[in-house]
Amino acid sequence: MVTAIAIAKSAETPTARDFIAKAKAMPYLTLAEETAAARRLEEHGDSDARNLLVNSHLRQVVKMAMVWAKYGFSAEDLIQEGNMGLMTAVQKFDVSKGHRLTTYATWWIKAFMADYMMKNRSSIRIPNTAKNKKVLMLLSKAKTALASGNGNVAAIYKKIAKACECDIDTVRIIHTLSTGTKSFSDPTGQEEGTGEFGDFIPDTAPLPEEVVADWDERSARHNILQRAVSTLNEREAAIFKWRRMVDEDDIKTLETLSGEFGVSRERIRQIEVGAFEKVQAFIHKEELARRGEELARIAAERTRVSKAATDKPKMILAAVTEPKKIAAPKKTPGWNVVTRNGERQLVFCP
């Protein structure tokens, strides 16, 4: 079986071809296997479980690195940064959330790669293609909205990507390369220890945990909507979907639906309104039930915390009066992220 050490060594080759091939050869984990490995890592610090989780998601790093490498960035460096992001995700992954690691890891991998690109963007030129020129033109038109921070940056990227028939990552990369924005990792002063520029800027980007929570909330709302639509009859559901559940460009007119169902436009409108009211009532009922469950959970948690504080006053006092000794960082067998000469490096400890 290919080992993590062999993969790390192959990343040092000029093209990283071996690394990519071996990463793609790594077996996928089933949900049960991933959950078991994550629990072993969380409960026992099992380095074998950690390596298993990292290795099984290396192809995710490769896929994202190849997208950005076409803009002139080093594939080897992108993979190295992505691996460190993946390791961070594996270490912070909470299996109790009920999500797959790949969903959680995407944010961390992109964050590490984006930081690398910000530091090295000055030496990279954007390919002079017609599509890239169009992206740059539309980014220029949206410059005020993007710079103000008041607009929805993701929505602007999505709109530009659709207009240029490219993916959102391409728009994001070109925007990063074309702007002269100061890197968050630039030092704020000449003296050592003065901190980095980004340390003094409020971080408005969502944390990975918040991203997962938001995804969970949107998923729950989507499920409620689907269940609400399932309560409609076949004709109501079809009309409701074509009028309320598709993109703006795909909405069917009352006249079109009138011809399809053989009724008047006014009748189509009445069916649409009636279906909407039914769906709205169903969702309102479900939201009230969810809110009640959430309030009950919060109340139970408050009771638990309050009881713990009452039962262990001495322990709390000791925690306040006696500073806890912080142990030196311990390198565990397997993959570790270390800082050498101010740079993060991914190393394997036997």
The closest of 19, 47, 20, 26 to 8, measured between CA atoms, is: 19
107 residue type, one letter: W
Query: Does 251 lie in the same domain as 169?
Result: no
Residue 228 has pLDDT above 50, yes or no: yes
For the chain, what percentages of helix, strand and coil (3-state, to nearest 5) are there? 70, 5, 25
Query: Does 293 lie in the same domain as 217?
Result: yes
Each residue's pLDDT tens digit, 48-107: 889 899 999 998 898 888 877 776 778 888 888 888 889 988 988 888 877 788 888 888
Question: Residue 37 falls within a domain, yes or no?
Answer: yes
Question: Residue 340 falls within a domain, yes or no?
Answer: no
Under 8 Å between Cβ of 138 and 160: yes
Look over the chain and give the mean of its residue pLDDT values, rounded to a whole number: 73
- Give mean pLDDT, residues 121-126: 62
Residues 6+ apart with CB under 8 A from 201: 184
Each residue's pLDDT tens digit, 49-59: 898 999 999 98
Whichever domain contains 280, its CATH number is: 1.10.10.10
Question: Residue 153 falls within a domain, yes or no?
Answer: yes
256/242 Cα distance (integer angstroms): 10
User: What residues make up the domain containing 298?
Assistant: 209-320
Each residue's pLDDT tens digit, 137-188: 888 887 777 765 555 777 888 888 888 888 887 787 777 767 644 443 444 3
DSSP secondary structure code for residue 199 in this structure:
G
- Total domains present in the chain: 3
18/10 Cα distance (integer angstroms): 6
Percentage of the chain lying above the pLDDT 70 cut: 65
Query: Does 214 lie in the same domain as 180?
Result: no
Question: Residue 330 falls within a domain, yes or no?
Answer: no
85 residue type, one letter: G
Query: Does 220 lie in the same domain as 164?
Result: no
Place of tokens 């007119």: 253
Q: How confident is the model at residue 232 (pLDDT cuts 50, 70, 90)?
A: very high
Question: Residue 199 falls within a domain, yes or no?
Answer: no
Question: Residue 335 falls within a domain, yes or no?
Answer: no
Each residue's pLDDT tens digit, 253-305: 999 999 999 999 999 999 999 999 999 889 888 888 877 777 777 777 767 76
Strand partners, 338: 345
| Coil, helix or strand at residue 177 | helix
